[in-house]
Amino acid sequence: MNKRRIVVTGIGVISPIGIGKDKFFQSLKEGKCGIDYITRFDTTNFDAKIAGEVRDFDPCEYIDKKECRRMDRFTQYAVAASKLAVSDAGLDINSVDKDMFGVCIGAGMGGLETLEAQHDILREKGPGRVSPFLVPMLIANIASGNVSIALNAKGPSITIVTACASGTNAIGEAFRIIERGDADIMITGGTEAPITPLALAGFCAMKALSTRNDDPKTASRPFDKDRDGFVMGEGAGMLIIEELEHAKSRGVKIYGEVVGYGATGDAYHITAPAPDAYGAYKAMQKAVKDAGIEPKEIDYINAHGTSTEMNDRLETLAMKKLFGDDVCKVAISSTKSMTGHLLGAAGAVEAIACLMAINDGVIPPTINYMNPDEQCDLDYVPNKARNKEVKYAMSNSLGFGGHNASIILKKYE
């Protein structure tokens, strides 16, 4: 039996470099950086004082004001990006088969902002003052739940929590749901709002964050020899993916086809990637096999590329294992240099960057690449976007706990 073909028909993005796909795409092509000083709380006592905050976001443009107050920021981002994707796809949610319309969203941390605020209330005013909405604002699955409610999607509704691989795993699992016939349409992607005092303090304590506070715009520098850690970002990326014939029957624009998905576990360490890069390599290999292609057919890779010493070096090693002598022919970039690291939303926003490359024939750059690292010696599309036809693009995500995920997107033909 022939496999069902699954295509992307709608894109919604809330990001530090723009709200909506057009602003996001344009910022990527221009190499615009969305990282700056944190404005939401006092960072005086923190080692890291910078992040990729989403600016000019008004949730009430997308969500009823009363409902907004009952959603943590990470859910607001998910609902807003989902509505943007639905609009972009020209999807009439009242006319689709609701039982075949599902939701699969990744989130790494859930409603941290709510948790911290309500914990302060508990300590200062006692348990009787804690909000009855604490739990339904906090739990990581509530973004999927609220999107399902907002869009009246009654098919499979699930949440993927695999740390920084969540968004990529979510797209991959949504792809599988349609592939096996359990849905015709899925809204899928990732969302995260981790720029809070507790999260910042935790990552600072791990020495995982860049402390290049004197120059925020150059702090995220994947694959550069002088990288000193990642920079947190926030936002959401959502895709409408649907079975090809279903999309064709609606006569809508097709951004690309989802053709491959691979996922593995390192089984090594809670935060450090495996030193042989086997898990990352194997996830990419599985995605290539699933797509029915050879590695050399990949034109562009949106790397996980966090700007940490170990990730960048070992992801480079994994790509060398996969591509062999052809590795120098593939264009690679990390858009985290511009957005920061969106944690559970990263893979989804980066899949959108891949679709941009496929549709525009423009590969986004790795900005802030100034001092090459002898152990990171591939073509990272340094500092300026590159015009290039892209037929196949791969997006990689690697998460704490040893979660590795890779998806392959293809130009629709």
Q: Residue 50 sits in a domain of what CATH number?
A: 3.40.47.10
Please state the length of the chain.
Answer: 413
- Whole-prediction pTM: 0.98
Same domain, 122 and 220: yes
The catalytic residue among 164, 204, 354, 376 is 164
Do residues 320 and 175 share a domain? no
User: Does residue 204 fall inside a structural domain?
Assistant: yes
**340 and 264 share one domain:** yes
pLDDT, position 3 = 84
- E strand residue ranges, 56-204: 101-106, 157-160, 185-192
pLDDT at 327: 96
From 304, 354, 376, 403, the catalytic residue: 304
The SS3 of residue 11 is strand
Query: Is the same domain home to 129 and 26?
Result: yes
| Domain contains 327 | yes
Last residue of a domain, one of 232, 250, 268: 250
Domain limits at 344? 259-401
Q: What three-state secondary structure class fits 7?
A: strand
Residue from 104, 204, 246, 341 carrying the catalytic annotation: 341
In this structure, the answer to whether residues 217 and 265 fall within a common structural domain is: no
171 plus 266 within the same structural domain: no
Using DSSP's 3-state secondary structure scheme, residue 58 falls into coil
Tell me the DSSP string of 223-259.
Answer: TBTT---B-BB-EEEEEEEEEHHHHHHHT----EEEE
Residues 285 and 164 in one domain: no
Domain count, the chain: 2
Q: pLDDT truncated to tens, each residue of the chain (413 aa)? A: 578 999 999 999 999 999 999 999 999 999 999 999 999 999 999 999 999 999 999 999 999 999 999 999 999 999 999 999 999 999 999 999 999 999 999 999 999 999 999 999 999 999 999 999 999 999 999 999 999 999 999 999 999 999 999 999 999 999 999 999 999 999 999 999 999 999 999 999 999 999 999 999 999 999 999 999 999 999 999 999 999 999 999 999 999 999 999 999 999 999 999 999 999 999 999 999 999 999 999 999 999 999 999 999 999 999 999 999 999 999 999 999 999 999 999 999 999 999 999 999 999 999 999 999 999 999 999 999 999 999 999 999 999 999 999 999 999 99
Q: Is 403 a catalytic residue?
A: no
- 216, part of any domain: yes
Domain boundary among 221, 250, 279: 250
Residue 9 dihedral angles phi and psi, to the nearest 5°: -120, -10
Please report, as a single letter, which amino acid is at residue 379: D
User: Are both 74 and 141 inside the same structural domain?
Assistant: yes
Please work out, in degrees rounded to the nearest 5, the angle formed at the alpha carbon of residue 347 by the alpha carbons of 346 and 351: 120
The dihedral of CA 288, 291, 292, 296: what is its sign? negative
> pLDDT at position 1, please?
53
- What pLDDT is recorded for position 314? 98
246 is catalytic: no
- If asked whether residues 294 and 182 sit together in one domain, one would say no
What's the rounded Cα separation, in Å, for the pair 95 and 185?
12
Q: Are residues 331 and 394 in the same domain?
A: yes
Closest to 80 measured CA to CA, from 93, 67, 92, 90: 67
164 catalytically annotated: yes
